[in-house]
Amino acid sequence: MNHRHYLNYSMALFFLGLSMNIAMAQSEFKHDVIASSGGNLTTNTSILVYTVGEAIVRDMPTTSNFLSNGFHQKNLTIIRVSDFLQDPDIEVFPTLVNSELKIQDKKSTSRDLVWKVYNLQGQEISNGNSQLNQASIQFDGVTSGIYFVHLSNKDNLKEKAIFKIIKQ
């Protein structure tokens, strides 16, 4: 980089910094960082805040301004993970499956049930339906792991229950 380009680059950085200082002097800026791991270090002249996954976060306060870089979040929204749907009239057993999973509907009247089995990647590995009060799902040849059984009505309009099972 020749001297003229260096001078132009330096001037651009100076004016960028000046405009940031003016903008920051007009508004209050807080350094809120939400992370699973990290920490901070405070000295007489600076505050260093770091989190896992972030290269560097540095706060540079002066008498009238505050400059900070990194990922800052002002709003935190916690989304509750809903409990699995459960129909007390439907029983799925055993939850530790070797070769066959049984579904039993305790209601005296039979109803059309549709079942789908998903792996942890969300891929459907099996499906079927039953008009009886009981049915079975074969797990022969299925890899060991955790699966979810979704039960719904015949038209798949209303989900009845979701069960977590483990294939041994």
Phi, psi of 134 (to 5 degrees): -150, 155
Do 103 and 61 share a structural domain?
no
Do 162 and 103 share a structural domain?
yes
Do 96 and 149 share a structural domain?
yes
| Span 108-154, pLDDT tens digits | 566 778 889 999 888 999 999 888 778 899 999 999 999 999 888 77
pLDDT at 26: 47
pLDDT at 114: 86
Using alpha carbons only, give the angle 146, 132, 166 rounded to the nearest 5 degrees.
Answer: 10
Do 43 and 99 share a structural domain?
no
Q: Determine how many CB atoms are found less than 10 A away from the CB of residue 102.
A: 13
Do 102 and 52 share a structural domain?
no
Do 139 and 94 share a structural domain?
yes
Polymer length of the chain: 168
* The model scores a pTM over 0.75: no
Residue among 38, 75, 74 at smallest CA distance from 53: 38
Burial tier of 113 (Cβ tally within 10 Å: 0-12, 13-18, 19+): buried
Arithmetic mean of pLDDT, 41-47: 79
Average pLDDT, the chain: 72
Structure tokens belonging to residue 48? 């260093």
DSSP 85: P
pLDDT at 112: 79
pLDDT at 39: 72
| Span 101-115, pLDDT tens digits | 998 877 756 677 888
Q: What is the CATH number of the domain that holds 137?
A: 2.60.40.1930
Q: Residue 11 sits in which domain range?
A: 3-68
What's the total number of domains in the chain?
A: 2
Residue 80 lies in a domain: no
pLDDT at 102: 92
Residue 74 lies in a domain: no
Do 111 and 151 share a structural domain?
yes
Confidence of residue 158 (pLDDT cuts 50, 70, 90): low
Residue 97 lies in a domain: yes
Residue 142 lies in a domain: yes
Do 103 and 37 share a structural domain?
no
Beta strands of 33-133 (E only): which ranges?
A: 38-42, 47-51, 58-61, 66-68, 90-93, 96-97, 100-105, 113-119, 124-130
Arithmetic mean of pLDDT, 62-67: 71
